[in-house]
Structure 1
């Protein structure tokens, strides 16, 4: 790894190759003289597999014109036992693959079908950041991208569910995202098979260390069982009994089972998903009056994989949608997603009822519905806690893992987490998910 760099010294970048790559980017962008300003790009709790650093480059071109480049760098954690407990390198391998191989493939079919000139589609289709440099080398993992926040995109408040309009927009864009994947799958089956094979070979949890699995199992099981404390024994004893029984199988069947065992998903209907569709991985753009537009950016593809699209929807509905909207508009939200999926498929002359029948989607939502409870138990404690209340698990040692679990349970007792987790449990039981 690079050492003694003038960029690393007194900066937020870790020791690694990020600084070398940054200098190459600056040179390639035609800066003659420049100044670099760095600042933290996230608070604790905003990102869980890396440190984000904003990088502003100001200078001049060869002909003396003023230039500015706004980047954001995501660097992997390099200290503590967190690296040994999580497949950090594989996370970065997957994200690099998504930007280098997968998205060029799906955007290429838009071009081949003349859809890149479809102005109506272009104005409402999601976008992704431009990647200037990346590495998945162990202990040197990073991504350097353009900072979309400097282009008037904004991120929501991770501590609150998204409102109605934002939820509907995300579901539309997920429909387009999945529709493009299905188009690639049906129009270029050999190419898609290669992509699916890559995901299978990079299954981030298939070879997870057993010590990590044991710690994680105890952690998730405890958090799910704590769901009973959100319910009133006088009116919800049946639901309490169900969540206690569910906690016994939650981790192995609905967390590690779904992450490790590809045979649980029908390959006919599997599609490439984002995998981590929550508030901090979306950027939204607003017009001059502050109204939400269709312009939206997806971020962070480290958990992308090839599975049922129901997994994506269950995750999003659990961690980013309010109890009220999920309860009152579930079927409508599914329809928004499916209509945009269908719209994209029609543009490639594909029939939705053949590619992904609505009945299959609804069946998978029910079959894998317990996933909602598991991800809710895992994520909401962090999503609803203030940054200063979240432990620094990236520097955590294995000896501190028990302390970490106790802190997570403590965080899960805040009122917002309790209320939202209760909503997920009651919703899952009402819809027969568990």
Structure 2
């Protein structure tokens, strides 16, 4: 990949990271980090730090910076998103410190090491460890995940959510302080009338896109129309759960990495990246987003199995954290959370499935956008339109068949 030049802010972050890892006299080399279409909300560079007197001493980093294009920034709350991700790395770090005081047989470790951030306007940057150099890999976003990978992700979300549940149960005031600035989704800030109107416009575009996609499938069209009629009420009740945790928030396959041992195709480790959409909410929000984006007609029927995997893992970790699992989230509680939020997977699926099935040469060029309307960026056709339609129809029909819409 082509070499790139880091900004002064980025280079300073890298130097601090290197010094924290006991590098003294070192070279810094940065390259383009991802292919077009792999990351929509940031510019990714891979950075290599090499000690000059010891070429075997190497630090591999990922530097994520913000788009500076005005029209794109008018569409997306960039500053809020980078601050949210920076805050989340700090919050998860504190939760893991709490976890380290316990003796867990399989603790949550599915997060990259965070080295710092810059949150100045148009200079927003996040610096973290490059997990791919530790053997982690992305799933092919064009293909639904198989049973082993779906199960592994449900289990890792359980380990992550267990930390929120246990910390909140044992330290309610500290949890409130820890989470007070992440109560709402950065995209769903509807405190002002202008924000409410903009969000409403955004929601209606989602449904327009979805209905155009499923055109010709009477069942999917009817179910999507029914959901559109009650979507306002659905969003109003979304934050009312008493079983709230800190969520990952952006649960598509490009934000989930897997590591494998001994050429085994079953993942041994799962790691979550891109925490910019994290918030406090139902644990089922992460599950339904992930399952809707990564499942398929063949695996949808296994939903109870995946929920049981989640609950068994959650219960074990809660118990090892010193909590009574049944008093915090029984399996019936989990089923209620799932039933109350599963529709959110369809809402997300209308757009994320299109993004996942977009080839690199079809990704819009944000520098050429002439509008600050967030709909314009996604008003494009995809070569895999038939696959997109089939997957969205399968998802809607599954949700309807199981009574989740």
Give me the TM-score of the superposition, normalised by structure 1: 0.84
1:368 aligns with 2:358: no
1:228/1:340 CA distance change after superposition, 3 Å:
same
Q: Which residue does 2:96 correspond to in 1? A: 107
Work out whether residues 66 and 78 of structure 2, in 8 Å CA contact, stay in contact via their aligned partners in 1: yes
Q: How does 1:383-402 map to 2 (within 5 A)?
A: 383-393=356-366, 396-398=369-371
Q: How does 1:171-182 map to 2 (within 5 A)?
A: 171-182=154-165
Residue 121 of structure 2 aligns to a residue whose secondary structure is coil
Q: Distance in 2 between matches of 1:196 and 1:317?
A: 25
1:162 aligns with 2:145: yes
1:271 aligns with 2:240: no
Work out whether residues 81 and 186 of structure 2, in 8 Å CA contact, stay in contact via their aligned partners in 1: no
Q: Distance in 2 between matches of 1:196 and 1:421?
A: 34
Q: How does 1:183-262 map to 2 (within 5 A)?
A: 183-200=166-183, 203-207=186-190, 210=195, 212-213=198-199, 216-229=202-215, 231=217, 233=218, 236=219, 239-250=220-231, 252-254=232-234, 257=235
Q: Which runs of 5+ in 1 are unaligned?
A: 1-9
Work out whether residues 230 and 422 of structure 1, in 8 Å CA contact, stay in contact via their aligned partners in 2: no
Q: Distance in 1 between matches of 2:368 and 2:330?
A: 46
1:413/1:406 CA distance change after superposition, 3 Å:
farther
Q: Distance in 2 between matches of 1:171 and 1:402?
A: 32
Q: Which residue does 1:3 correspond to in 2? A: none
Q: Distance in 2 between matches of 1:341 and 1:285?
A: 21
* Aligned partner (choices 90, 94, 119) of residue 84 of structure 2: 94
Q: Deviations over 1:353-380 (max 9, x none)?
A: 2111322222232222221211010111
Bigger Cα displacement from structure 2, 294-303 vs 310-319: 294-303
**Equivalent pairs, count:** 400
Alignment root-mean-square deviation, CA: 2.5
Q: Which runs of 5+ in 2 are unaligned?
A: none
Superposition deviation, residue 267 in structure 1: 5.0
Q: Distance in 1 between matches of 2:392 and 2:184?
A: 34
* Aligned partner (choices 72, 79, 104) of residue 62 of structure 2: 72
Q: Which residue does 1:429 correspond to in 2? A: 400
Q: Which residue does 1:84 correspond to in 2? A: 74
Q: Which residue does 1:417 correspond to in 2? A: 388
Q: Distance in 2 between matches of 1:419 and 1:41?
A: 32
1:335/1:66 CA distance change after superposition, 3 Å:
closer
